[in-house]
Amino acid sequence: MTEQTRREFLRTVGSAAVASMFAGCAASVRRQSSAGKKPNIIFILTDDLGYGDLGCYGQKQIKTPNIDHMAAEGMKFTQHYAGSTVCAPSRCVLMTGLHTGHARVRGNSRVLLKGEDVTVAEVLKRAGYTTGVIGKWGVGHPPPPGDPKRNGFDYFFGYLDMVHAHNYYPEFLWRNSEKVFLKGNQLAEPYNGEQGWSFRQGTYSHDLFTEEALAFVDRSRENPFFLYLAYTIPHANNQAQRRIGDGMEVPDYGIYKDKDWSDQTKGYAAMITRMDRDIGRLFKKLDRLGIDDNTIVMFSSDNGPHDEGGVDLDFFNSNGPIRGMKRDLYEGGIRMPLIARWPGKIKAGSISDHVSAFWDFLPTAAALAGLKPPKNIDGISMLPTLLGNPQRQKKHEYLYWEFHERGGKQALRWGRWKAVRLKWHKNPKGPLELYDLENDPAESVNIAKGHPDIVAKMEKFLEMARVDSPDFPVSRKG
Q: Per-residue pLDDT tens for 195-218?
A: 444 444 689 999 999 999 999 999
Beta-bridge mates of residue 296: 41
pLDDT score for 245: 83
Contacts with 180 (C-beta within 8 Å, 6 or more apart), sequence order:
157, 172, 173, 174
- By C-alpha distance, which of 23, 20, 22, 18 is closest to 5? 18
Contact 406, 412 (CB under 8 A): no
Per-residue pLDDT of 419-475, as tens digits, reads 999 999 999 999 999 999 999 999 999 999 999 999 999 999 999 999 999 999 997
Strand pairing of 335-341 and 75-81? antiparallel
Alpha carbon distance 93, 103 (integer Å): 7
Taking the alpha carbons of 85, 357, 335, 214 in that order, is the dihedral positive or negative?
A: positive
pLDDT score for 35: 54
List of domains in the chain: 37-395 (3.40.720.10), 400-464 (3.30.1120.10)
pLDDT score for 3: 45
For the whole model, what pTM was predicted?
Answer: 0.90
Contacts with 262 (C-beta within 8 Å, 6 or more apart), sequence order:
310, 312
Residue 29 burial (CB count, 10 A): 11
- pLDDT under 70: residue ranges of the chain: 1-36, 186-201, 476-478
Alpha-helix residue ranges (DSSP H) falling in 289-356: 331-334
pLDDT score for 5: 42
pLDDT score for 187: 56
